[in-house]
Structure 1
Amino acid sequence: MAETRVRKRHVLVMRHSPYGGALARAAIDMAMAMGAFEQDFELLFMGTGVLQLLDDQDSHQIGLRNAGRLLSSLPLYDVERVFVDADALQHHGIGLSDLVVPAEPLDAAAIRDLLGSADHLVSY
Structure 2
Amino acid sequence: MKKLGFVFSSAPHGSASGREGLDAVLATSNYSEDLVLFFVGDGVMQLLSEQQPTEILCRDYISTFKMLSLCDVEDIYVCETSLSERGLSHASFVINVDIVSPDVISQRLAQCAKVLQF
State if a TM-score over 0.5 links the two structures.
Answer: yes
Asked if 1:76 corresponds to 2:70, the answer is: yes
* Identity, % of aligned positions: 26
| RMSD of aligned alpha carbons | 1.6
Name the TM-score, length of structure 1 as normaliser. Answer: 0.85
Find the counterpart in structure 2 of residue 106 from structure 1. Answer: 100
Larger gyration radius, structure 1 or structure 2: 1
Change (3 A) 1:57 1:25: same
Gaps of 5+ in 2: none
Letter in 1 for 2:106: R
Change (3 A) 1:38 1:119: closer
- Give me the whole-angstrom Cα distance separating, in 1, the residues matched to 2:117 and 2:98: 19
Count of aligned pairs between the two proteins: 118
Name the TM-score, length of structure 2 as normaliser. Answer: 0.89
- Give me the whole-angstrom Cα distance separating, in 2, the residues matched to 1:117 and 1:35: 18
Gaps of 5+ in 1: 1-6
Contact 2:80/2:89, CA 8 A, preserved across alignment: no
Higher-strand-fraction structure: 2
Letter in 2 for 1:62: I
